[in-house]
Amino acid sequence: MDQRPLGVFDSGLGGLTAVRELRSILPSENIIYFGDSSRVPYGGRSDEILHRYARQDVRFLRSFDIKAILVACGTVSTTALPLLQQENDLPIVGVVEPACRRAATKTRNKRVGLIATAASVRSGAYERGLHAVDSEITVISKACPLFVPLVENGRIHRGDIVIETVAREYLQPLKEQGLDTLILGCTHYPLLEEIVQDVMGPDVTLINVGQESAWEMKRTLERCDLLSPDRVGETTLYVSDRPQDFAVQASRFLHHEVHDAVRCIDIEQY
């Protein structure tokens, strides 16, 4: 048993897809979340910059006495996870492996699609992860760079002509490839689940990487005997810019008001 909080981070709102799942499967845990809202989006940046951001994000979370970290960001998971694990003496879980395992069990025709940020697609990490589970899987990847800015601006609802047009543009060519499983490889993308499912059709299984990573964190805490004792866990949210804007979107997504719970920090100090 360990009552210290979990640290979770992303470039912005996306990691809340993991937090929502953590809240439901690990209700006793205290969670400290950091969304790097002053530097979102991460997905178009170089590996060098991403390593610097990832190290700062982890240093900020480690300024609290945390017991484990969930990298609730596909871009950091695909480009910096081994580095972070090497440099830190606590369990650090990313989103890639659990999502690949789930996709491999779901696919019937072994044609799996991946949509993610440019940095994640460039890294090839999801392909490696899928092939580690099943070398016969064909992976069809596509970077969707406009999705994160649109999600951060709240353009996530059915009937919004901008997001629907962009989604069709990105996803129609994938649909024509006959895949039966699609990994939403960026944690922002599950906020677009309905829009993506509408384009891909009901027969394509969507894999939510935030959700899968939350389950991986649960397994890790169990394995390392780090679960919290029974209590009502709390979530504390930090961002690096515009806490009010983040609070509005986060409240909608988490289905409860978080307005007073979002604090702003200067990430460049870490």
Just list the catalytic residues: 73, 186
b/e per residue, 118-136, with b = 16+ CB within 10 A?
ebbbbbebbbebbeeeeee
Residue 240 and residue 38: Cα distance in Å, rounded?
Answer: 5
Backbone angles phi, psi at 133, to 5 degrees: -85, -40
240 lies in the binding site for ligand DGL (CB under 6 A): no
Query: In this chain, which of 123, 187, 208, 213 binds ligand DGL, going by CB under 6 A?
Result: 187
143 lies in the binding site for ligand DGL (CB under 6 A): no
Strand partners, 205: 181
Nearest approach in angstroms of CB 87 to ligand DGL is 20
14 lies in the binding site for ligand DGL (CB under 6 A): yes
| Closest residue by Cα to residue 125 from 53, 84, 212, 185 | 185
Residues 6+ apart with CB under 8 A from 224: 68, 91
Nearest approach in angstroms of CB 145 to ligand DGL is 8
Question: Helices marked H in the chain — which ranges?
Answer: 16-25, 47-61, 74-87, 96-106, 118-123, 125-133, 147-152, 161-175, 193-200, 209-223, 243-254
43 lies in the binding site for ligand DGL (CB under 6 A): yes
74 lies in the binding site for ligand DGL (CB under 6 A): yes
Which is closer to ligand DGL, CB of 5 or CB of 74? 74
Nearest approach in angstroms of CB 50 to ligand DGL is 10
CB 43 within 8 A of CB 76: no
Applying CB under 6 A, the span of 18-26, 136-144, 154-162, 186-194 interacting with ligand DGL comes to: 186-194
CB 13 within 8 A of CB 246: yes
Q: Is the peptide bond between 82 and the residue preceding it cis, with omega within 30 degrees of 0?
A: no
**160 token code pair:** 């919004």
Q: Is 213 helix (H, G, I), strand (E, B) or coil?
A: helix
Applying CB under 6 A, the span of 40-48, 154-162, 195-203, 254-262 interacting with ligand DGL comes to: 40-48
Per-residue x/- marks for ligand DGL, 111-140, CB under 6 A? ------x--x--------------------
41 lies in the binding site for ligand DGL (CB under 6 A): yes
Query: In this chain, which of 8, 40, 163, 192 binds ligand DGL, going by CB under 6 A?
Result: 40
Applying CB under 6 A, the span of 10-18, 86-94, 246-254, 261-269 interacting with ligand DGL comes to: 10-18
Which is closer to ligand DGL, CB of 40 or CB of 267? 40
| Separation of first and last alpha carbons in the chain | 29
Binding site for ligand DGL (CB under 6 A): 10-11, 14, 40-43, 73-75, 117, 120, 148, 186-188
